[in-house]
Amino acid sequence: MRKKLLSFIILLLFYFNPLTAQVCTTLGQNPETAFPVCGTASFSQLSVPICGGRAVPSQCTGTLFEDKNPFWYRFTCFTSGTLGFVITPTSLSDDYDWQLFDITNKNPQEVYTNAGLFVACNWSGEGGLTGASSAGTSLVRCEGPGVALFSSMPALVAGRTYLLLVSHFTDTQIGYSLSFRGGTASITDPVEPHLKTSSAACDGTTVRVKLNKKMKCKSLAANGSDFSINTAGTSIIAAEGIGCSTSFDMDSVLLTLNNPIAPGNYTLTIGNGADGNTLQDNCDRLIPVGENIPLTVFPIIATPMDSLTKIGCAPNTLQLVFRKPIFCNSIAADGSDFIVTGPVAVTVTGATGSCVNGLTSSIAVQLSAPLQSGGSYTIQLQNGSDGNTILDECGQQTPAGSAITFVVSDTVNANFTYAIVYGCNQNTIQYNHNGNNSINNWLWNFDNARTSNLQNPFITYTNFREKNTTLIVSNGVCKDTASVAIIFDNLLNASFEGTALACPNDPAVFTDKSEGRIISWEWSFGNLPRVNVQNPPAQLFTVGNTTRDEIVQLIIRNSFGCADTATQIIKVINNCYIAVPSAFTPNGDGMNDFLYPLNAYKAKDLSFSVYNRFGQRVFFTKDWTNKWDGRFKGQGADTGTYVWILTYTNTDTNLRVEQKGTTILIR
């Protein structure tokens, strides 16, 4: 509660005094500028600027937590295992908190909104060392005094990226140290640092060096002394880490030369610069002194029409790719730089680049309609409405008439036909697809129960209810799907509803519920006359001396000569007068051994109770077929008179009936 209350007070202060709340501007104090972590390194933060205060979702219910005076650390797991670390405040009374997020394939800013990124936390209200260790017993430690300062070690997964927030709850600005130890996961990049590639600008005055991984910005000598080039009269006079203004590390370096270099082949070599080292990765490993890479300065020539990305099915955009960046302002937005010809007329309606700093390496050419007719097409460059074709970063114009030929596949159609051969026991369907437009793959799905890869399969059915058939066709590029619901004309399912039991003089009613295109019905009711209408008149069964079962049968037929039969049993009751015997003899001789309401066929909501002479209820039931066997508490009840109470609702009159009486138990 202490931290929760203080956080609330601070939020009020921020609200009433906006100058108190500060945006974090120091590198490392925002998720996107987090410190890159090497597991072998320790971090020492001498002071902590006051800023932040943005809420982060946590697993602690009902409590608001913030990135208060924060620093962030980013790392990748290279070997799965557990993560252990310790945050040691310079002043041991200071209260430091932390939370770990999994930001794999996520924008780092999602830590403020996406609760699903949570991995572990410790928001204890105590001051002192905190972190994750084998001594911890939970991944979630929430605010308040007395809460353990160490959480259990979270499990990291190889290949995933994580962010660690260190939040300084105490406003002393006194720093801390952070070290990673005790866990089994590896967060140390095993790749050694090296130079990767180099490329020269058009005018030969700058060279861009690509590194094989991110390396520390502070390890680069600003005067370019880390690099040399093997040509007389030319030296490197400056070096800039790309992105170092907003990050601690870089993967590219821009070198500035004192003189332009002529087209040709050169060697770029790295050595110890004025700062006494080469370039360092985040684990302080150095690119070896003397390592070199080739540098080719190309003659200034126009960038050709290079290539198209893979053509898909029915393309309505053509994506051109160029080996050199193209000036975006040289692309006519109306697409008039390009003309497309082929088996059908094609109209270009626009062209755009994926522009960064005014340059793009690709151009999307928009068409008025998808290309659905297969064949060979050509995209050709011409002078557009802006008076030119396109210009590369060196200012060279690609010649009009440059062209690329490409092939478009036919669109396909999955529509199919079918023919049904009817039978009484099974139906057979012949499915047919025409295979046009170079289709070479068929995938049939029959009710999600069977499949086929044949062009024209035969399928048999023994169940005649509605069938759903789907076909997916493809020619290797284009795909189409068609589905059909098939209704069989010979579906035949006999079914009826009817009276389940018949008391004397009660008519029995039966209603047809059959399915199908039925042309005849045949009813039989035991010894009663047969009936040949859909819904027969009420039947009156003859009552005998005993209750008996009668078989009711319905046979239906359709125009295919097929038949189906449904059968039910009706119980014909000889006596439906509800009564309770005046005596019973529970001696096991098979005669009058039980006490119960006789013939309660027309009773609903029934209850039956039996009481002895002391007023004790010795038997109770709501099911009239549940009979009292003359026992009470597991023992045979005494001989004598018992009182019974019977209540029920008569199903004929819907009136409530209550009866009382006595019965003699005789042994």
pLDDT tens track for 160-180: 999 999 999 998 999 999 999
pLDDT at 370 over 70: yes
Residues 196-252 pLDDT 10s: 999 998 888 999 999 999 999 999 999 999 999 999 989 999 999 999 999 999 999
147, 2 contact by CB (below 8 A): no
Residues 459-483 pLDDT 10s: 999 999 999 999 999 999 999 999 9
From CA 100, how far away is CA 118, in angstroms rounded?
6
From CA 219, how far away is CA 249, in angstroms rounded?
9
Secondary structure (3-state) at 602: helix
In this prediction the pTM is: 0.56
* All residues at 6 or more sequence positions from 423 whose CB lies less than 8 Å from its CB, including other chains: 490
The count of domains in the chain is 6
Instruction: Identify which of 321, 1, 43 has the alpha carbon closest to the alpha carbon of residue 145.
Output: 1
Element (H, E) at 10: helix 2-16
Residue 185 belongs to a domain: no
From CA 104, how far away is CA 118, in angstroms rounded?
12
Instruction: Identify which of 399, 360, 361 has the alpha carbon closest to the alpha carbon of residue 381.
Output: 399
pLDDT for residue 108? 97
pLDDT for residue 498? 96
From CA 24, how far away is CA 72, in angstroms rounded?
11
Torsion of the alpha carbons at 445, 446, 448 and 452, rounded to the nearest 10: -40
Q: 114 and 12, same structural domain?
A: yes
Q: 312 and 398, same structural domain?
A: yes
Burial class of residue 232 in the structure, from the number of CB atoms within 10 Å of its CB (0-12 exposed, 13-18 middle, 19+ buried)? exposed
Q: 30 and 7, same structural domain?
A: yes
The CA-atom distances, in angstroms, between 467 and each of 433, 448, 481, 513, 632 are 18, 10, 17, 22, 61
Q: 230 and 280, same structural domain?
A: yes
Q: 95 and 19, same structural domain?
A: yes
pLDDT at 9 over 50: no
Secondary structure (3-state) at 474: strand
Q: 537 and 394, same structural domain?
A: no
pLDDT for residue 184? 96
Residue 188 belongs to a domain: no
Mean pLDDT of 310-327: 95
Q: 439 and 355, same structural domain?
A: no
Backbone angles phi, psi at 485, to 5 degrees: -95, 125
56, 112 contact by CB (below 8 A): yes
> Residue by residue, what is the 3-state secondary structure of 126-166?
CCCCEEECCCCCCCEECCCCCCCCEECCCEECCCCEEEEEE
465, 471 contact by CB (below 8 A): no
pLDDT at 323 over 90: no
**CATH number of the CATH domain containing 635:** 2.60.40
Tokens representing 565 are 């039969």
- How many residues would you count in the chain? 667
pLDDT for residue 8? 39
Q: Tell me the residue range of the domain where 421 lies.
A: 417-486
Residues 91-104 pLDDT 10s: 999 999 999 999 99
Q: Using 50, 70 and 90 to split pLDDT, how confident is the model at 22?
A: confident
**CB under 8 A, 24+ apart: contacts of 314-318:** 314/370, 314/371, 314/372, 314/411, 314/478, 315/367, 315/370, 315/371, 315/408, 316/366, 316/367, 316/369, 316/370, 316/371, 317/364, 317/365, 317/366, 317/367, 318/364, 318/365, 318/367, 318/379, 318/406
Q: Which of 250, 266, 297 is the last residue of a domain?
A: 297
Burial class of residue 77 in the structure, from the number of CB atoms within 10 Å of its CB (0-12 exposed, 13-18 middle, 19+ buried)? buried
Looking at every residue in the chain, the average pLDDT score rounds to: 94
Tokens representing 232 are 């007389």
Q: Which of 572, 598, 619 is the last residue of a domain?
A: 572
Residue 577 belongs to a domain: no
Q: 364 and 330, same structural domain?
A: yes
Residue 578 belongs to a domain: no
Mean pLDDT of 105-121: 96
Q: 70 and 162, same structural domain?
A: yes
The gap from C-alpha 170 to its chain's centroid, in whole angstroms, comes to 40
Tokens representing 119 are 């991995």
Residue 323 belongs to a domain: yes
pLDDT at 11 over 50: no
Residues 347-362 pLDDT 10s: 999 999 999 989 999 9
Residue 592 belongs to a domain: yes
Q: 496 and 482, same structural domain?
A: no
The number of beta carbons lying within 10 Å of the beta carbon of residue 193 is: 24
**CATH number of the CATH domain containing 256:** 2.60.40.1220
Q: Using 50, 70 and 90 to split pLDDT, how confident is the model at 62?
A: low
Residues 138-156 pLDDT 10s: 999 998 789 999 999 999 9
Residue 229 belongs to a domain: yes
> Residue by residue, what is the 3-state secondary structure of 401-415?
CCEEEEEECCCCCCC
Q: 344 and 472, same structural domain?
A: no
Residue 187 belongs to a domain: no
Q: Which of 380, 408, 436 is the last residue of a domain?
A: 408
Burial class of residue 531 in the structure, from the number of CB atoms within 10 Å of its CB (0-12 exposed, 13-18 middle, 19+ buried)? middle
* All residues at 6 or more sequence positions from 612 whose CB lies less than 8 Å from its CB, including other chains: 618, 632, 637, 638, 640, 642
Residue 112 zone, left/alpha/beta (φ > 0; ψ -120 to 50; rest): alpha
**CATH number of the CATH domain containing 552:** 2.60.40.10
Mean pLDDT of 61-90: 93
pLDDT for residue 649? 98
Burial class of residue 363 in the structure, from the number of CB atoms within 10 Å of its CB (0-12 exposed, 13-18 middle, 19+ buried)? buried
Percent of the chain with pLDDT strictly greater than 70: 97
Strand spans (E) along 544-616: 548-558, 563-572, 583-584, 603-611
Q: 286 and 322, same structural domain?
A: no
- β-partners of residue 122 are 98, 141
Residues 575-622 pLDDT 10s: 999 999 999 999 999 999 999 999 999 999 999 999 999 999 999 999
Backbone angles phi, psi at 112, to 5 degrees: -90, -10
